[in-house]
């Protein structure tokens, strides 16, 4: 149709097969990988590497809405959630062309204590991502590589492997794994250097701090408070890479913060500058550019519905605003993508729409083809 | 001078006399109030109500910059820090007319376990605020009343007292005191109702979560990360009053978030709306207006240097942007106020400058007089 708006998505997801490890790992390793067994309404037993432990299920898998479904159940209903061919039909219908795709099982790595097992699983999963996901439509689907993060050397090697097999972005949790330094510390420098060398985008998807972020608040307004709370981890990850000096040392390194919104970037930029200047005598390291300049140039951020996001670009000078569908999740636009895109872009200048729906994404991923005219 | 920009400040501070309690409380009560004794470089003994405990000094009082001074020492140097007459000379020179003034000893109340003592100290300090601060220039100085927050009934009674003696804003910590509910819970409803009845502004100054917020991050970039981190408590306090329904039940109640910036408001408004709509089946209470509308209409926010703040108004539709000097603190504009105001406002429309430097403040505090023409 003539008025269809095509957009790339800086934030999408897919769901792996339940027997992924059996498919891609030798049997002896596959049986050591985490496996969940639901017991009762709110609890699961996790079996991992010969041990088992009970834990409460995340709230998104237990709290039921008016229709009796959980957020998790509502988030895996679209046809293309698991099936790449069905997915492309969904995307075409919605008007989404290229998309960054995050795995759904990325958090398993923090449950395994054996770095070798994590390393080999990430290696195998990234091979699978190329052959079973990216290769289905290599000019559109941009799956994010999993990283073994227990030891920085492992992360470096797997990043190099991911780049060698053609992946373009690595997914890193917003919270560094237990036992490792925070991302502002120099111990992570080899990883940033490797990403810079490989031209690999660093992707942080919000909600990966490593805690059950749906339970921080209780009582009136809790659902909305918990929803908003998930954004802060992405802001903090970006700030750590700016203030710790990583992005200053690697001026070509690019970071994507997915699903956290975009209007926070000018805010955090100004706030970092204020701290950097007013508390200047306490600031280490000194940077070669102001923190806001580094943030604006090297950090990209995706939003779904935020009506203020285009103005972050045209009125506040932040050019790295990406739209994202969050397909197939409940927080995303599946089923109303065209309505959302028209509300966002019908009244803004064509170059602003172009930059947010296509330009910023294509700068990160120049191998992605152009949407239909 | 012809090009002097006059502005009201939504965020300023003063320092009480060291012997305030001896001046305003009966001797038997005064000696029960907290008193600090520095021991060594980084530690103090706090004596309070017959007990004593050691604690680490807050980092702003111990970490020294290149010039050998701490943030605290750098923040109390301006002549008018303690002296209202000298203060007015500082303000005239800087171009600041009206100002909201927060106390420096507001946090003592969480150290005292006896609600009666907290109640009587707050009562006496608020009387002192009127006679010794506000009355020096009642059309310019707007000191914020201290609140006894250990029991909501005490807070209600003191708010009514503060209103009766002519105070216009109450200062509430961004973190509710230990042992009390979070602000989204209904147990605080009597306080919001009392503020609504009295036409009293609710003031939250950032950095009052109740923790030493200068120590959350360590290592490279820590100073800037910790500086930015202080803003989040103000955002969360505002969200709790929106999502918990307090501001919806009291549509005339107004909240001021001081020193936390202003550009976060459109961002948080959009994000709350997204959660409210997309997770609608989980949201309690349902509100009569969207969260962003409530936030935009009833929450005011002050910034110092943020160059994106005017665009939050003219490009994102958030009209309750206030400027603030943060006098006399290091994070503020003392010594360069005119430079900052000109950088912020020389290139924006006159009505935007008017709203941010005067209009929003005068809406909260209509008794404040107009600056010199």
Cα(B45)–Cα(A33) distance, integer angstroms: 52
pLDDT in tens, A134-169: 999 999 999 999 999 999 999 999 999 999 999 999
Better-scored residue on pLDDT, B337 or A210: B337
Contact B171, B203 (CB under 8 A): yes
Which residues in chain B touch residue A314, judged by CB atoms under 8 angstroms apart?
315
pLDDT, average across residues A94-98: 98
Q: What residues are paired with A255 via a beta bridge?
A: A202, A299
pLDDT at A109 over 70: no
Burial of B198 (0-12, 13-18, 19+ CB in 10 A): middle
Residue range A309-359, pLDDT digits in tens: 999 999 999 999 999 999 999 899 999 999 999 999 999 999 999 999 999
Q: Does A60 touch chain B (CB under 8 A)?
A: no
Instruction: Check CB contact under 8 Å for A219 and B244.
Output: yes
Q: CA Rg, chain B, in Å? A: 20
What is the rounded CA–CA span in Å between residue A133 and residue A127? 10
Tell me if B244 and A221 make a contact (CB, 8 A cut-off).
yes
According to DSSP, the residues that pair with A283 across neighbouring strands are none
Which of A15, A26, A132 has the alpha carbon at shortest distance from A79? A15
| Partner residue facing B221 (CB), from A184, A223, A264 | A184
Distances (CA, A) of A121 to A49, A125, A126, B124, B314: 13, 6, 9, 66, 51
CA distance A127 to B104: 59
Chain B partners of A315 at a C-beta cutoff of 8 Å? Answer: 311, 314-316
Over residues B225-234, the mean pLDDT reads: 96
pLDDT of residue A334: 95
What is the SS3 assignment for A282? helix
8 Å CB contact of B308 and A270: yes
A45 at interface of B, judged by CB pairs closer than 8 A = no
Q: How many CB atoms lie within 10 A of CB A41?
A: 8
User: Is residue B107 pLDDT above 60, yes or no?
Assistant: no
- Please name which of A287, A300, A289 lies closest in space to residue A255, comparing C-alpha atoms: A300
Least confident of A45-49, A106-110, A164-168, B66-70: A106-110
Whether B285 contacts chain A with CB within 8 A: yes
- Give the per-residue pLDDT at B212: 67
Q: Specify the pairing of strand B35-39 against strand B43-48.
A: antiparallel
What mean pLDDT is predicted for residues A255-263?
98
Contact A306 B267 (CB under 8 A): yes
Question: What's residue A1's pLDDT?
Answer: 46
Would you tell me how many other CB atoms lie within 10 Å of the CB of residue B49?
14
The overall average pLDDT reported for chain A is 93
* pLDDT the model gives residue A113: 85
Q: Are A239 and B224 an interchain contact pair (Cβ–Cβ within 8 Å)? A: yes
Token output for A280: 């200047």
pLDDT score of A84 more than 70: yes
Distance from CA of A137 to the nearest CA of B (A): 30
A–B interface: beta-carbon pairs under 8 A? 217
Q: Whole-angstrom Cα distance, residue A212 to residue A235? A: 18
Nearest Cα neighbor of B75 from B234, B264, B207, B173 is B207
Q: Measured between beta carbons, which residues in chain B are less than 8 angstroms from residue A330?
A: 278-279
Backbone angles phi, psi at B139, to 5 degrees: -90, 5
Q: Is A133 exposed, middle or buried (0-12, 13-18, 19+ CB in 10 A)?
A: buried
Q: Are B296 and B269 in contact, with CB atoms under 8 Å apart?
A: yes
Find residues 261-280 of chain B whose CB sits inside 8 Å of chain A: 261, 263-264, 266-280
Paired strand residues for B301: B257, B321
Distance from CA of residue A143 to its chain's centroid? Answer: 10
End-to-end CA distance of chain B: 11
pLDDT class for B202, splitting at 50, 70, 90?
very high
Q: Which of residues 175-234 of B touch A (CB under 8 A)?
A: 181-182, 184-186, 217, 219-225, 227-228, 231-232
CB-CB under 8 Å, B242 with A274: no
Return d(Cα B283, Cα B9) in angstroms, integer. 37
Kindly report the backbone phi and psi dihedral angles of residue B355, in degrees, each rounded to the nearest multiple of 5, phi listed first.
-65, -40
Q: Which residues of A touch B244 (CB under 8 A)?
A: 219-221
Q: Pick A111 or B169 by higher pLDDT.
A: B169
pLDDT of residue A80 exceeding 80: yes
Q: Which one, of A211, A277, A207, lies nearest residue A236 by Cα?
A: A207
Contact A231 B271 (CB under 8 A): yes
Helix (H) or strand (E) holding A126: helix A115-128
* E strand or H helix at B363: helix B360-364
Rounded to an integer, the average pLDDT of A247-275 is 98
pLDDT above 70 for B219: yes
And the tokens for B127? 């009387």
Residue A8 near residue A362, CB atoms below 8 Å: yes
| Buried b / exposed e along B308-337 (16+ C-beta atoms within 10 A) | bbbbbbbbbebbbbbbbbbbbbbbbbbeeb
Phi, psi of B174 (to 5 degrees): -65, -25
Tell me which chain B residues have a C-beta less than 8 angstroms from the C-beta of A296: none
Smallest Cα distance from B28 to chain A, Å? 41
Chain A residues touching B325 at Cβ < 8 A: none
Residues in A closer than 8 angstroms to B272, CB to CB, are 224, 227-228
Cβ-Cβ contacts under 8 Å, B221 against chain A: 184, 239-240, 242-245, 283-285
Q: Give the mean pLDDT of B339-368.
A: 98
* pLDDT for A68 beyond 90: no
Confidence (pTM): 0.96
Phi, psi dihedrals of residue B46, rounded to the nearest 5° = -105, 125
Cβ–Cβ under 8 Å, residues B36 and B44:
yes
How far apart are the C-alpha atoms of A6 and A148, rounded to whole Å?
35
B272/B214: higher pLDDT: B272
Considering only CB atoms, A284 lies closest to which of B220, B240, B303, namely B220
The residue with greater pLDDT, A166 or A80, is A166
């Amino acid at each position: 149709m003539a008025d269809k708006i095509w957009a790339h998505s800086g934030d999408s997801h897919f769901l792996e097969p339940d027997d992924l490890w059996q498919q891609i790992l030798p049997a002896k390793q596959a049986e050591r990988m985490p496996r969940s067994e639901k017991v009762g309404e709110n609890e699961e037993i996790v079996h991992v590497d010969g041990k088992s432990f009970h834990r409460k299920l995340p709230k998104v898998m237990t709290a039921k809405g008016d229709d009796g479904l959980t957020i998790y159940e509502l988030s895996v209903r679209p046809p293309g959630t698991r099936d790449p061919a069905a997915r492309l039909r969904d995307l075409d219908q919605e008007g989404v062309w290229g998309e960054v795709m995050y795995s759904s099982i990325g958090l398993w790595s923090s449950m395994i204590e054996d770095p070798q097992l994590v390393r080999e699983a990430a290696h195998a999963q990234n091979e699978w991502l190329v052959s079973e996901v990216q290769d289905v439509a290599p000019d559109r689907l941009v799956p994010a590589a999993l990283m073994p993060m227990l030891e920085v050397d492992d992360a470096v090697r797997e990043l190099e492997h991911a780049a060698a097999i053609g992946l373009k972005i690595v997914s890193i949790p917003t919270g560094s794994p237990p036992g490792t330094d925070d991302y502002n510390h120099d111990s992570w420098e080899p990883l940033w250097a490797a990403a810079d060398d490989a031209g690999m985008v660093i992707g942080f998807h919000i909600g990966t701090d490593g805690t059950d972020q749906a339970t921080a608040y209780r009582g009136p307004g809790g659902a909305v408070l918990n929803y908003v709370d998930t954004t802060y981890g992405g802001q903090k990850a970006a700030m750590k890479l700016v203030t710790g000096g990583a992005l200053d040392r690697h001026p070509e390194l690019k970071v994507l913060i997915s699903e956290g919104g975009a209007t926070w970037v000018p805010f955090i930029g100004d706030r970092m500058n204020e701290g950097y200047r007013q508390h200047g005598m306490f600031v280490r390291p000194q940077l070669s550019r102001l923190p806001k300049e580094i943030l604006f140039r090297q950090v990209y951020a995706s939003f779904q519905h935020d009506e203020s996001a285009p103005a972050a670009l045209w009125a506040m000078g932040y050019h790295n605003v990406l739209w994202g569908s969050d397909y197939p999740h409940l927080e995303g636009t599946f089923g109303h993508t065209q309505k959302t895109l028209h509300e966002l872009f019908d009244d803004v200048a064509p170059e602003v729409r172009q930059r947010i729906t296509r330009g910023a994404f294509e700068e990160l991923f120049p191998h992605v083809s152009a949407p239909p005219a």
